[in-house]
Amino acid sequence: MNDNQNTFVIIMAGGVGSRFWPYSRRSHPKQFLDVLGVGKSLLQLTYHRFLPICKKEHVYIVSNEAYYDLIREQLPDLTDEQILLEPNRRNTAPCIAYASYKIASKNPDATTIVTPADHAIFMEDEFVRTCRVALDFVQEDNRLVTIGIKPSRPETGYGYIQYTHDSDDGEVKKVKTFTEKPQLELAKAFFESGDFVWNAGIFIWKTKSVIGEFEKYLPEISETFSSISEQYYTDDEKEKIAWAYARTKAISIDYGIMEKAENVFVVPGEFGWSDLGSWSSLHEYHEKDENNNVVDGNAILYSSNECIVRTPKDKLVVVQGLEGYLVADCDDVLMICKKDDEKKIRSIVNDVKSIKGEKYI
């Protein structure tokens, strides 16, 4: 059995949330916003979600240096030792390596849960139960577990994990393959087969197990972060991390380790999960009017369906004749566009940056 004394949580909170622009800005990205309208940011919801299985002193946030003040403001219980600041964005493998090697320098017997900061989970008791299943399973060394989401539709926006059915480990399944975001026909085949789950990017393992995999598959990253183990929890940590990130390449934990390792397992879960990755995913989870519109603001809609309207409370907005549109009036940007066209929104953000400058991003 796992115990709380050795359980740590690593929350990855460094993303910029560009698919939620202009609501999510580089200076205040979506993990720091009350996206669900419940009075807490996604980061705060994530932090509180893990307190039943982890002491608050064992929650570590990995984020960009630019977000230090936001983290301190939103999670005042944390000490500076628990806020790990990256000088550059290097994807998930260096982020996880930094936190894992730091935790291991203090507690070599630690078990860690790694999670994104910006996902929504609506059935938290079931999520905690699923985590406990995984925590118990990984106590045997050299097991890596990821939590998968039983798919509700043939979604092309998520990665997929295929698992085998020949395991006697109950809820825990041996992983067969990882697949990046598939085309629709393949997504339909995955959905109908019944042995695929969505990849939620939530990982559970003993810290020494994942460090062993870093040594095997990402030796440069392993050597870099292990070589500064004496400086963790000291005044020299910041300087050494700047040195480490300057010589570390950007690579995801999925590509760098999970797709290559042999001892990878998945716990399929059903706990009302969304990665809240886009405006259309937000539309799916928010309360809607009789015409399937989501309205957050002071607005009147005529002959409009399947829209999201997010505007300041002190400005009346009147919308007429729109179908499937996003109307987002946020600070100094007003955007009106098709809500489902994620690629177009990314393209718009890039154009705004090059034509109008960084101040709008």
Record the tokens describing residue 173, joined without a space.
């399944």
Record the tokens describing residue 132, joined without a space.
């406990």
pLDDT, tens digit (0-9, with 9 covering 90-100), for 69-97? 999 999 999 999 999 999 999 999 999 99
Position 1 scores a pLDDT of 55
* CB neighbours of residue 262 within 10 Å: 10
Q: Which residue, among 261, 282, 77, 358, has the nearest Cα to 349 in the 3D structure?
A: 358
90 within 8 A of 111, measured Cβ to Cβ: no
Position 126 scores a pLDDT of 97
Position 10 scores a pLDDT of 98
Position 157 scores a pLDDT of 83
CA–CA separation, 89 and 129 (whole Å): 32
Position 167 scores a pLDDT of 61
Which alpha helices (DSSP H) does 30-146 contain, by range?
Answer: 42-49, 68-74, 92-106, 124-137
Position 351 scores a pLDDT of 96
96 within 8 A of 258, measured Cβ to Cβ: no
31 within 8 A of 272, measured Cβ to Cβ: no
Torsions phi, psi of 276, nearest 5?
Answer: 45, 50
Position 288 scores a pLDDT of 94
pLDDT, tens digit (0-9, with 9 covering 90-100), for 322-336? 999 999 999 999 999
The residues, ordered by sequence, that sit 6+ positions from 97 with a Cβ below 8 Å of its Cβ are: 214, 218, 221, 222, 224, 225
pLDDT, tens digit (0-9, with 9 covering 90-100), for 148-205? 999 989 888 889 999 998 766 689 999 999 998 888 899 999 998 888 999 999 999 9
Q: Could you give the percent of the chain with pLDDT greater than 90?
A: 81
Position 277 scores a pLDDT of 80
Reported as type and span, the H/E element at residue 214 is helix 207-217
Average pLDDT, the chain: 93
Averaged pLDDT for residues 265-281: 90
Averaged pLDDT for residues 215-230: 98
| Angle made by CA atoms 303, 304, 307, in degrees to the nearest 5 | 170
pLDDT, tens digit (0-9, with 9 covering 90-100), for 57-75? 999 999 999 999 999 999 9
CA–CA separation, 27 and 176 (whole Å): 40
Domains of the chain: 4-274 (3.90.550.10), 280-360 (no CATH)
Q: Measured on CA atoms in the order 186, 189, 191, 197, is the torsion positive or negative?
A: negative
Helices (H) and strands (E) in the chain, counts: 11, 17
322 within 8 A of 304, measured Cβ to Cβ: yes
Q: Quick one: DSSP state of residue 246?
A: H
DSSP, collapsed to helix, strand or coil, labels residue 352 as helix
| Angle made by CA atoms 299, 302, 306, in degrees to the nearest 5 | 85
Q: How confident is the model at residue 234 (pLDDT cuts 50, 70, 90)?
A: very high
User: Residue 114 pairs with which residues in a beta bridge?
Assistant: 10, 203
pLDDT reading at 282 higher than 90: no
CA–CA separation, 361 and 353 (whole Å): 6
**One-letter amino acid identity for 28?**
H
CA–CA separation, 286 and 69 (whole Å): 29
Q: Measured on CA atoms in the order 165, 168, 169, 171, is the torsion positive or negative?
A: positive
User: Residue 121 pairs with which residues in a beta bridge?
Assistant: 273
Instruction: Tell whether pTM > 0.85.
Output: yes
pLDDT reading at 220 higher than 90: yes
Q: Which residue, among 318, 320, 317, 322, has the nearest Cα to 306 in the 3D structure?
A: 322
182 within 8 A of 190, measured Cβ to Cβ: yes
Task: Tell the residue number behind the tokens 């566009």, with chain if given.
Answer: 337
